């Protein structure tokens, strides 16, 4: 006669089994080694983590951070720390402690209530073992290092959770036999089986079969792995991917940056390649195109290199982004290295939009006055002046042909980017020189209706002359005795001597340091002025003495806020058979004040 089982209905609430409210600690299972389907350049594979004690390096995990969903961009992402960790061959466990910060308290309360119960581990793998099971490729991490533990909405490993207990309102039960599981134990097992099925993408019939057979969670996980290995369907969909060092390596933007950095490192061997980008260190554009197509689920069998590049250009937006990232890196290197003499003498700022940038200059503060016998303090006023300029857009488009990408011709690729960087720097320099030499060499017209260099401004030599002690002294005196808006003498210190290439040798002689034999041989300008050579100046005789732009307003140039320097955009080519790369520069310049510049027309 079969045993009978008395089924009882009981109400239960879930709470962490190992919680210590005072210490704010709880025990978690951070891995059970459950299989996870992945994809790489060779195609789909199943990833497993070995939990043998000798396979797992726990040195980084003990004392590591407990994070919010693997985020590690700010201190606020840290919820607590790992106090201890262990592996026993079947699972990895840890004791974690939550922070007492006010913003962490709601998370801690949800953990206590059993609402937040899923965890995930961030790790790096040092050694893989590749095998095949039921026709599927299996990569097992046989030497790996966990770095952090995160609370997540849904883990890749369904067995990774905060350890729970069931608090019952009644405690009696009638077992069918000594081996029969309790009702509450069976309910927990069934719930975990359903979670395993949801993560693995298995249907209700599989769940019913496992429950009917009375499978425990470990048995169900093995069955799920066998089902994953045998079926030929596309990759399973997971809501939370376990990541290396807390970042999802499947993030398209992250992958594009890594590929772009790897291409840049091949162009510039001095670049120190970051660890995540090393997997693409020797990849060609064709290799990258193939991986991007594979990740989109497209077949790349029997496709020629040219076909792979063509299809990647027209079916995935990542490929043009990768090439644009590489061009941007090379372009910025060339842009920053390009010399510009006048640019050194200006002050950089930003503009919020393309409307006129109005600059208001305040006059000198009013002088203090002696108090009269009544102790009355009089109010003073400050005069002001206004100048304006605006940021404008400058752009050019280049094409990287499909032939260059197929041939892996990085020399041509880098040369195009380098020339565009130099062109952007040249554009800025010509804008500044054109501004300086406006008005037949007298500079732009200021708000007072006079040109920048004008006799009324006291910053223009009455007669042009070559560089000498006398003319340099006159220039220095003119700057030292400049008067402010309220016609009071202000302090302007000469710092730079700006010359065209034709005067470079002459200027060097007058600024050279020598050991004089007599006082008459002393060079008064040795070390007092810095030589700046600008090859774009149109006059071979005109020279300038300027103050430090940090001391007094003078030449100012601006970029659109958030777009400092040239910006790169890319897309699949329409006008060229390849990739179109557009370089945009939002740049403007103007003179804010005349008092820091002096000009001599030369002779």
Are 342 and 554 a contacting pair, CB within 8 Å? Answer: no
Supply the Cα-derived Rg of the chain in whole angstroms.
36
Q: Residue 153, Cα to own-chain centre: how many angstroms?
A: 26
Strands 136-151 and 65-68: parallel
Q: What's the rounded Cα separation, in Å, for the pair 159 and 197?
A: 12
CA atoms within 13 A of residue 81's CA, in its CB half-sphere: 10
Q: What is the pLDDT of residue 599?
A: 97
Over residues 502-532, the pLDDT tens digits come to 999 999 888 875 544 444 555 667 778 899 9
pLDDT digits (tens, 9 = 90+) for 74-90: 888 899 999 999 999 88
Closest among 500, 508, 595, 480 to 543, alpha carbons compared: 500
C-alpha pair distances (Å), 117 with each of 6, 150, 208, 320: 31, 11, 25, 41
6: left (phi over 0), alpha (psi -120 to 50) or beta: beta
The two three-digit tokens of residue 346, written as one number: 């200006």
pLDDT digits (tens, 9 = 90+) for 440-459: 999 999 988 999 999 999 99
Q: Are 400 and 581 in contact (CB under 8 A)?
A: yes
Distance of CA 295 to the CA centre of its chain: 24
Residues of the chain above pLDDT 90, percent: 27
Give the pLDDT band (50/70/90) at residue 13: very low
Distance in angstroms (rounded) separating the CA atoms of residues 217 and 487: 88
* pLDDT category of residue 437 using cuts at 50, 70 and 90: very high
User: Structural domain boundaries of the chain?
Assistant: 12-166, 252-319, 392-513+524-600
CA pair distance 396, 377, nearest whole angstrom = 60
Query: What pLDDT is stored for residue 12 in this prediction?
Result: 32
Question: Is the sign of the CA dihedral 362, 368, 371, 372 positive or negative?
Answer: negative
Q: What is the pLDDT of residue 591?
A: 94
Q: What phi and psi, each to the nearest 5 degrees, are found at residue 261?
A: -65, -40
Determine the pLDDT at residue 3: 46
Look up residue 451 and give its DSSP letter.
B
| CA atoms of 11 and 9, how far apart (whole Å) | 7
- DSSP E strand stretches across 60-207: 65-68, 78-87, 92-98, 119-133, 136-151, 161-162, 164-168
Contact in structure between 585 and 427 (CB atoms under 8 Å):
yes
Rounded Cα distance between 55 and 75, Å, is 31
> With helix as H, strand as E and coil as C, how does 554-566 read?
CEEEEEECCCCCC
Grade residue 546 by pLDDT with cuts at 50, 70 and 90. very high
- Cβ–Cβ under 8 Å, residues 590 and 400: no
Closest CA to 384 of 358, 403, 409: 358
Taking only the tens place, the pLDDT of each residue in 306-325 is 888 888 877 766 778 887 88
Low-confidence winner among 173-182, 404-413, 559-568 (lowest mean pLDDT): 173-182
Share of the chain above pLDDT 70, in %: 80
Residues 588, 434 contacting (CB under 8 angstroms): no
User: Structure tokens of 271?
Assistant: 């670049």
The CA distances from residue 27 to 85, 163, 174, in Å, are 9, 6, 31
573-590: per-residue pLDDT in tens? 667 777 888 899 999 999
pLDDT in tens, 18-36: 788 888 999 888 888 888 8
- Mean pLDDT score across all residues of the chain: 80
Q: How far is CA 406 from CA 191, 280, 321, 400, 409, in A?
A: 52, 17, 17, 11, 8
User: In whole angstroms, how far apart are CA 501 and each of 130, 417, 508, 542?
Assistant: 66, 28, 11, 11
CB 337 within 8 A of CB 426: no
Q: What is the pLDDT of residues 346-393, one digit of tens each?
A: 999 988 888 888 876 555 556 566 666 666 656 554 445 568 888 999
Return d(Cα 12, Cα 6) in angstroms, integer.
18
What is the tens place of the pLDDT at every residue in 221-280?
A: 778 777 766 654 444 444 444 434 444 445 566 787 888 888 888 888 888 888 888 888
Give the model's pLDDT for residue 455. Answer: 94
> Mean of the pLDDT values across residues 189-205?
75
Banded pLDDT at 185 (limits 50, 70, 90): low
Q: How many CB atoms lie within 10 A of CB 299?
A: 8
Residue 302 three-state SS? coil
Q: What is the pLDDT of residue 441?
A: 93
Burial of residue 440 (number of CB atoms within 10 Å: 0-12, 13-18, 19+): exposed
| Domain covering 392-513+524-600 in this structure, CATH number | 3.90.1690.10
> Measured between alpha carbons, how far is residue 31 from residues 24, 120, 128, 139, 485 in Å?
22, 7, 17, 16, 73
> Using the 8-state DSSP alphabet, how is residue 365 labeled?
P
Tell which phi-psi region holds residue 226, choosing left (phi > 0), alpha (psi between -120 and 50) or beta.
alpha
């Amino acid at each position: 006669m079969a045993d009978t089982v008395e089924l009882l209905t009981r109400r239960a609430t879930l709470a962490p089994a190992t919680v210590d409210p005072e210490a704010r600690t709880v025990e978690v299972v951070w891995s059970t080694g459950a299989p996870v389907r992945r994809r790489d350049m060779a195609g789909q594979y199943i990833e497993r983590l070995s939990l043998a004690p000798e396979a797992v390096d726990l040195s980084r995990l003990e004392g590591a951070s407990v994070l919010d969903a693997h985020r590690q961009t700010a201190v606020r992402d840290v919820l607590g720390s790992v106090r201890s960790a262990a592996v026993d061959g079947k699972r990895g466990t840890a004791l974690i402690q939550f922070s007492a910060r006010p913003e962490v308290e709601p998370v801690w309360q949800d953990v206590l209530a059993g609402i937040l119960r899923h965890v995930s581990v961030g790790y790096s793998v040092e050694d893989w073992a590749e095998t095949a099971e039921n026709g599927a490729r299996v990569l097992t991490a046989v030497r790996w290092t966990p770095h952090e533990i995160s609370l997540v909405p849904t883990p890749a490993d369904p067995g990774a959770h905060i350890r729970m207990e069931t608090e019952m309102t009644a405690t009696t039960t009638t077992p069918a036999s000594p081996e029969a599981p309790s009702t509450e134990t069976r309910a927990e097992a069934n719930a975990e089986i359903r979670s395993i099925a949801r993560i693995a993408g298995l249907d209700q019939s599989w769940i019913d079969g496992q429950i009917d057979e009375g499978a425990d969670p470990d048995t169900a996980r093995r069955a799920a792995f066998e089902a994953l290995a045998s079926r030929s369907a596309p990759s399973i969909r997971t809501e939370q991917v376990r990541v290396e060092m807390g970042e999802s390596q499947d993030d398209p933007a992250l992958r594009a940056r890594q590929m772009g950095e790897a291409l840049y490192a091949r162009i510039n061997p001095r670049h120190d390649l970051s660890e995540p980008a090393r997997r693409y260190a020797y990849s060609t554009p064709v290799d990258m195109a193939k991986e991007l197509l594979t990740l989109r689920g497209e077949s790349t069998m029997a496709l020629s290199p040219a076909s792979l590049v063509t299809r990647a250009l027209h079916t995935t937006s990542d490929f043009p982004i990768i090439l644009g990232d590489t061009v941007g890196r090379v372009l910025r290197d060339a842009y920053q290295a390009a010399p510009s003499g006048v640019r050194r003498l200006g002050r950089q700022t930003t503009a919020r939009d393309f409307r006129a940038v109005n600059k208001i200059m305040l006059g000198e503060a009013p002088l203090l006055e002696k108090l009269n016998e009544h102790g009355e303090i009089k109010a003073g006023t400050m005069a002001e002046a206004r100048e304006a300029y605006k940021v404008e857009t400058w752009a050019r488009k280049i094409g990287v042909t499909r032939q260059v990408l197929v041939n892996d011709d990085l020399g041509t690729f880098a040369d195009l980017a380098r020339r565009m960087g130099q062109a952007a720097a040249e554009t800025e320099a010509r804008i500044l020189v054109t501004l300086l030499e406006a008005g037949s060499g007298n500079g732009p017209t200021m708000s007072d209706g006079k040109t920048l260099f004008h006799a009324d401004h006291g910053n223009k030599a009455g007669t042009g002359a070559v560089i000498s002690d006398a003319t340099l002294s006159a220039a220095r005196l003119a700057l030292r005795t400049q008067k402010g808006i309220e016609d009071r003498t202000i302090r302007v210190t000469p710092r730079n001597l700006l010359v065209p290439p034709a005067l470079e040798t002459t200027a060097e002689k007058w600024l050279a340091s020598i050991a004089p034999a007599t006082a008459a041989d002393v060079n008064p300008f040795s070390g007092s002025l810095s030589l700046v050579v600008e090859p774009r100046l149109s006059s071979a005789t005109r020279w300038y003495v300027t103050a430090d732009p940090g001391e007094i307003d003078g030449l100012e140039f601006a970029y659109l806020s958030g777009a400092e320097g040239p910006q790169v955009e890319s897309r699949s080519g329409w006008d060229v058979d390849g990739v179109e790369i557009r370089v945009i520069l939002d740049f403007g310049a103007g003179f804010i004040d005349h008092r820091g510049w002096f000009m001599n027309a030369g002779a």
